[in-house]
Structure 1
Amino acid sequence: MTCRFYREEEVADVLDMATTIEVVDESFRQLGSGGADNVPRRRARAPGFVLHGMHASAEYLGTAGWKMYSTTRIGAKFHVGIYDTDSGQMIALIEADRLGQLRTAASSAVGARYLAKKPVTQVGVFGAGWQAEGQLTAMATEFPLAQAYVYSRDEEKRQAFAERMSEKLKLEVLPVHDPREAVEDLPLVITATTSKHPVFDGNLLAEGALVCAVGANWNFKREIDVITVRRADNWVCDSIEACRGEAGDFVLAEEEGYLDWTKAVSLSDVMAGNSIGRNNQDSIVVYKTVGLALHDVALGTKFLELAGSQPEIGVDLPF
C-alpha cells in the first residue's frame, strides 16, 4: 500500500458542499457516540511563523489523521495526512485549503440544521473572504435562502463578494453599508472575519436568532460581543474542550464574568439528544466552531473513496 498525494484542484473537482455537510453531520454523531476521537489544535511559534497541528481518529471509518498548517505574513499552507488504522500506513497526503473551507462551512450548516429556528430564508454574513464564501454556500445548500446581506469594512470587497455569490448561488446577495443591516430581523447571522473585536452590536439580534461564530480561533480574538453572549439562552460548541482553549468569543466573556462553561454544550450531545441546543423558538443561540481535525479526517477519507474511481488523479509517493 502506497501513499498518494493530491493537489488542491483535485480536491475541488471531487468534493461538493452537499456531500461535505453529510460527512460532517455523521462525524459529529460518531464523536458523540464514541466512534471517533478528536485532539484540539496546538501551536508552535517562531518569529513571524506559527505551525498549527490537530489530530483525530475515526474508528467508524478505519482511518486516523492530522491536519497541519503554517501561517506567515505572506499566507498559509494546509495539509491533511490520512492513515489506515489497521496497517498504520499513511495512505494519503492532501493539500487542504479547499478541504478546510468545505468542512468549516459544513460545520456551521450542520449546527444550523439542529439549532436554527425554521424556516431560514435570509441570512446575514460578516466577512467577504474565502471562509465567508464557503459559509454562504453551505447555508444556501442547507436552506432555501432567498436573500443574504453581507457586511465587510471594505466596500469594494463586499460589493465584489455580493456580485460573485449572487451569480454562483442564484440568490439575492446584497452588500450593506451598516452592520445592523446584516443583523436586524434575521434568523441567522454568520461571522467569518479576521477581526479581533466584535463586528456587531448584540442588542440588534432578533428573538430566536442563531449566531454562527466562525472566525475567531485565538483566545485574544472575539467577533461577538458580551451583549450577544449575555442575551443567548444557549451556548453550543463544536467541541467544548477546543473552545475552552481558543474560542476568544467565549474565553474573554468568561474572564469578564458573562459566561459559565458549565452551561455550554457540544453539538454532538445536542444531536444525540443528551443536551438542549435551543430552549424555545424565541431563544437566541450562539454556535461557536473553532474547527475539528475529525472533520478533516472524515472528509479526507470521503475524498479518497470518491477519488478511487478516478485513478488518473493523484500521484504515488515513494513510501
Structure 2
Amino acid sequence: MCSATSLPVLSARQTKDLLPISLLCQALAAAAEEYMAGRIRSPERQVLPLQGEGVLLSMPATAHDIGMHKLVNVCPHNTNHGLPTIHGVVSVYDAANGRPLLILDGPTVTAQRTAAVSMLAIQSLHSRSPQHVALIGSGKQASGHLDALAELFPGIRVDVHGLDLASATEFCRQHAELGLVLQPKAGRIADEVEVVIMLTTSKVPVYNEAARADRLLIGVGAFRPDMAELGPLSIAGSQLFSDDPVGARHEAGDLIQAGIDWSTVSSLADAVAGRFDADRPRLFKSVGTAAWDLAAARCALANYSSSGATDECRG
C-alpha cells in the first residue's frame, strides 16, 4: 500500500507480474493502431554517453491518457564487476495533470513488451496457433520469448539453436519447468518448424532459407545497421512487416543491408488488422519504439489499480 504522498516504485518481479503476455498483447494491438494514426507520439530515442562505453537511452511517449518516459543505461563492462548490463526505470504520468503515478523496472518492461510484440505478430500473421517453434539464440531475449510462448501456447515444441549444442542444452535445462517440449539443436532448422524467431546480435545472417508461406519469420535481435540475422534470400521472397517502419529505416540492419524498397514495409497495425496476403510468405522485423513501452505502462497501471493498491495514490 502507498500513502497519498508516496510514489510506488516496483521491483522487476512486481513489474513482470503486472504484465501478463495475454493482456499485454491486447494493449499492444490497441496501441499499434493509435501509433499509426498519430495518437501516440514517440520521438526518436536520444542517446548520451556514459563512462566505459556505456550509454544512457531516453525514450518518452505520450497519449491521451498517460505519458511515459523510459530511461535505460546500457553499460557493457558491468559484467566485469558482477553487475547487470542494463539498468533503468519507466516512469508513468497522468496526461491530464502530469502527476507521477508509477515507477516500473525498465529492463523488465523492455523484455516483456518485446516478447509480447513477437507474440502479437504470431497471433496476427500466422494462420493458427503454432505447434512447433524455433528460437535462434539463448540469451535474455530468448528467455523472455520462451516465457511468453509458454504462457500463450503451453505444451508446444520449441527447438533452441544456441551458439553451440552445449549452450542450447544448458538453456533448455534451465527452462525445463516451463512445460514446453524443449529440444536443443545445432545446424539447420527442422522442416516442420512453423515460426522461427531470431534473437541474436549477429552481424552475419543466422537464417537465409527461401521464404515459405507456411513459416513465419520474426527478427528481433539485430538492432543496428551493421547487424543482420536475416539473409537476403529470406527477405526478398517475403511480405515485410515491422513494428515501427520509420525506426526500422535506421535500425533494422537486415533490411537495410538487403536494400529493400521501404514503401513495401507494412506496420504492426496492418498485421493486426489482417491487411496482408495469407498465401504469401511473411516476415516480421521488430525494432522497438517507446509507443510499446507506453502500452506496457497502461497495462501495468490498469493491473496495479485493479488490485486496489493505488486507490489512495491516484485519488
Pick from 204, 211, 217: which aligns with 1:211? 217
Shift of residue 145, structure 1, vs aligned partner: 5.5
CA distance 1:24–1:82, shift in 2 (3 Å): same
- Secondary structure (helix, strand or coil) at the match of 2:183 reads strand
**One-letter amino acid matched to 2:288:** G
How far apart are the structure 1 equivalents of 2:130 and 2:309?
41
Q: Does 1:176 align with 2:185?
A: yes
Partner of 1:110: 120
Q: Does 1:32 align with 2:30?
A: no
Q: Does 1:280 align with 2:278?
A: yes
How far apart are the structure 1 equivalents of 2:251 and 2:268?
17
Shift of residue 220, structure 1, vs aligned partner: 1.3
**One-letter amino acid matched to 2:177:** E
Shift of residue 288, structure 1, vs aligned partner: 0.6
Partner of 1:167: 177
Partner of 2:81: none
**One-letter amino acid matched to 2:278:** N
Partner of 1:308: 305
Pick from 164, 187, 200: which aligns with 1:193? 200
8 Å CA contact retained: 2:213, 2:278 = no
User: What's the CA shift string for 1:250-276, capped at 9, x where partnerless?
Assistant: 11212xxxx110111111134346xx3
Shift of residue 68, structure 1, vs aligned partner: 1.8
How far apart are the structure 1 equivalents of 2:162 and 2:16?
26
Partner of 1:43: 47
Alignment of 1:80-99 (within 5 A): 80-99=90-109
CA distance 1:40–1:97, shift in 2 (3 Å): same
How far apart are the structure 1 equivalents of 2:304 and 2:109?
14
- Please say which of residues 303-312 and 100-109 is displaced more in the overlay: 303-312
Partner of 1:15: 19
Q: What is the TM-score normalised by the length of structure 1?
A: 0.85
8 Å CA contact retained: 2:213, 2:282 = no
**Runs of 5+ consecutive residues of structure 1 not aligned to the other structure:** none
Alignment of 1:260-279 (within 5 A): 260-272=261-273, 276-277=275-276, 279=277
| RMSD across aligned positions (CA) | 2.3
How far apart are the structure 2 equivalents of 1:122 and 1:219?
30
Partner of 1:252: 257
- Aligned pair count reads 299
Pick from 44, 54, 66: which aligns with 2:69? 66
**One-letter amino acid matched to 1:18:** S
CA distance 1:151–1:268, shift in 2 (3 Å): same
How far apart are the structure 2 equivalents of 1:56 and 1:312?
25
Partner of 1:229: 235
Shift of residue 41, structure 1, vs aligned partner: 2.7
Partner of 1:147: 157
8 Å CA contact retained: 1:120, 1:144 = no
- Secondary structure (helix, strand or coil) at the match of 1:208 reads coil
**Runs of 5+ consecutive residues of structure 2 not aligned to the other structure:** 79-84
- Secondary structure (helix, strand or coil) at the match of 2:43 reads strand
8 Å CA contact retained: 2:138, 2:171 = yes
Shift of residue 144, structure 1, vs aligned partner: 5.8
- Please say which of residues 299-308 and 214-223 is displaced more in the overlay: 299-308
8 Å CA contact retained: 1:105, 1:138 = yes
| Identity of matched residues, % | 25
Shift of residue 90, structure 1, vs aligned partner: 2.7
Shift of residue 37, structure 1, vs aligned partner: 2.3
**One-letter amino acid matched to 1:300:** A
Shift of residue 76, structure 1, vs aligned partner: 1.2
CA distance 1:83–1:312, shift in 2 (3 Å): closer
Shift of residue 310, structure 1, vs aligned partner: 5.1
User: What's the CA shift string for 1:58-116, capped at 9, x where partnerless?
Assistant: 22xx1011212111122111211111111022322222222211100000111111111
**One-letter amino acid matched to 1:14:** L
**One-letter amino acid matched to 2:94:** D
- Please say which of residues 11-20 and 261-270 is displaced more in the overlay: 11-20
